């Protein structure tokens, strides 16, 4: 039995078989006494970072809100072990979007948010348990709410083992949230336990068909060939708040990349694969973990394996 350092994963190898302790995949943190008006769930989410600047080794998490009125404010704080260590109002820990700073469209004036780059947090404060605290002031009333917990660790192959990461870039209007991301190419990432890969080829061919001069033979002549991959995506049981990010946000992104960190994957170099969701996912609801397993197909977006004879 191997305890993979700081990941909460138990890995038992017997020959070519592997066993995972699924109870450690989504550690649930007991609710605090603080009112959570946005219903953000309390889970300890693994995030990885280092000083390499390699994109698939460095996670980010992003937050964007419409404050609703010009008189309303939202202040964001970085907390470690539930103690505030910084106000998120500069580029120290990522990208800050102050209210009124987004000017591409008039309906963006009430937006404010932050893109947390965990590499910057790691460099200044080290590994640990972090969360974002939000103080929302509306018409004289202050409401405090929190993000889920982020378990920040230095990136290694062992710590990424058994995970996938979804990277999305949003550049449109999300009607339900009333947030206009146009002009922002707003990034966000989500690391969960799961699997991405098992590519199957899709083959398309265009032919010209004609008959010989005496019409005795039918001849097929290749004009164009296009081949691309379709990948499988499967998560381990996810709580609703994380599953909703996959269902209602990330695959609405204008650009989506998938990264797989499973060492037993047939293709162990599936990093920054540009994909799109072409059909609905399957949601298998579990009765013992209060979670949902998400399965689906993702199509390769960059389809450059082509040949043309024209």
**Residue 7 domain-assigned (yes or no):** no
Q: Is position 296 within any domain?
A: yes
pLDDT, one tens digit per residue, over 160-182 is 999 999 999 999 999 999 999 99
Do 169 and 310 belong to one domain?
Answer: yes
Enclosing domain of residue 155: 28-160
Q: Does residue 114 lie within any of the structural domains?
A: yes
Q: What is the per-residue pLDDT for 42?
A: 57
Same-domain pairing of 103 and 139: yes
Q: Are residues 135 and 168 in the same domain?
A: no
CB-based contact 238:245 (threshold 8 Å): no
User: What's the helix, strand, coil split of the chain in %, to 5?
Assistant: 10, 50, 40
Task: Show the tokens assigned to 74.
Answer: 């939202």
For residue 18, the model assigns a pLDDT of 35
Assigned domain for 37 exists: yes
Q: What is the pLDDT of residue 211?
A: 77
Could you tell me if 181 and 64 are in contact, meaning their C-beta atoms sit under 8 angstroms apart? Answer: yes
Q: Which residues of the chain have pLDDT under 70?
A: 1-42, 213, 215
**Does 105 reside within a domain?**
yes
Same domain, 151 and 296: no
Rounded to 5°, the CA angle 169-272-46 comes to 80
- Residues 221 and 144 occupy one common structural domain: no
Same domain? For 89 and 234 the reply is no
**What pLDDT is recorded for position 227?**
81
Do 155 and 165 share a domain, yes or no? Answer: no
Q: Which one of 136, 160, 184 terminates a domain?
A: 160
pLDDT at 84: 98
Q: Is residue 132 part of a domain?
A: yes
Residue 221 in domain: yes
Instruction: Please check whether residues 183 and 156 belong to one and the same domain.
Output: no
Which of 94, 125, 160 delimits the end of a domain? Answer: 160
Within 10 angstroms of residue 307's Cβ, the number of other Cβ atoms is 11
Do 115 and 189 fall within a single domain? no
| Predicted local confidence at residue 202, as pLDDT | 81
Residue of 29, 43, 129 whose CA lies nearest to 83: 129
The total number of structural domains in the chain stands at 2
- pLDDT at position 207 is 78
19 within domain boundaries: no
Both structure tokens of 299 = 């199509």
CB atoms within 10 A of CB 275: 22
Tell me, what's the pLDDT at 309?
82
pTM over 0.85: no
Rounded Cα distance between 62 and 66, Å, is 14
Q: What is the pLDDT of residue 226?
A: 81
pLDDT computed for residue 41 by the predictor: 55
């Amino acid at each position: 039995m191997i305890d993979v350092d700081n990941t909460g994963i138990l890995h038992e190898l017997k020959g070519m078989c592997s066993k995972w302790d699924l109870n450690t995949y989504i550690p649930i943190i007991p609710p605090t006494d603080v009112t959570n008006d946005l219903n953000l769930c309390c889970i300890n989410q693994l995030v990885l970072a280092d000083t390499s600047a390699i994109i698939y080794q460095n996670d980010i998490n992003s937050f964007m809100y419409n404050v609703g009125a010009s008189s309303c404010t939202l202040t964001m704080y970085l907390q470690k072990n539930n103690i505030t260590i910084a106000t998120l109002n500069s580029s120290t820990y990522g990208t800050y979007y102050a209210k009124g700073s987004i000017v591409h469209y008039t309906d963006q004036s009430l937006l404010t948010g932050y893109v947390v780059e965990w590499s910057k947090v790691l460099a200044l404060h080290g590994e640990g348990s972090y969360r974002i605290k939000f103080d929302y002031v509306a018409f004289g009333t202050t409401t405090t709410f929190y993000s889920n917990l982020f378990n920040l660790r230095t990136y290694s192959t062992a710590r990424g083992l058994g995970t996938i990461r979804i990277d999305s870039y949003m550049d449109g209007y999300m009607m339900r949230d009333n947030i206009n991301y146009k002009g922002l190419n707003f990034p966000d990432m989500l690391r969960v336990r799961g699997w991405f890969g098992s590519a199957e080829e899709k083959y398309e061919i265009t032919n010209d068909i004609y008959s010989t001069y005496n019409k005795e033979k039918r001849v097929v002549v290749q004009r164009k060939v296009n081949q691309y991959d379709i990948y499988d995506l499967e998560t381990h049981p996810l709580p609703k708040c994380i599953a909703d990010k996959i269902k209602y946000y990330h695959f609405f992104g204008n650009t989506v990349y998938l990264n797989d960190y499973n060492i037993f994957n047939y293709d162990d170099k599936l990093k920054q694969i540009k994909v799109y969701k072409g059909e609905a996912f399957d949601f298998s609801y579990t009765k013992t973990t209060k979670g949902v397993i998400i399965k689906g197909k993702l199509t390769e977006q960059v389809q450059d394996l082509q040949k043309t004879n024209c």
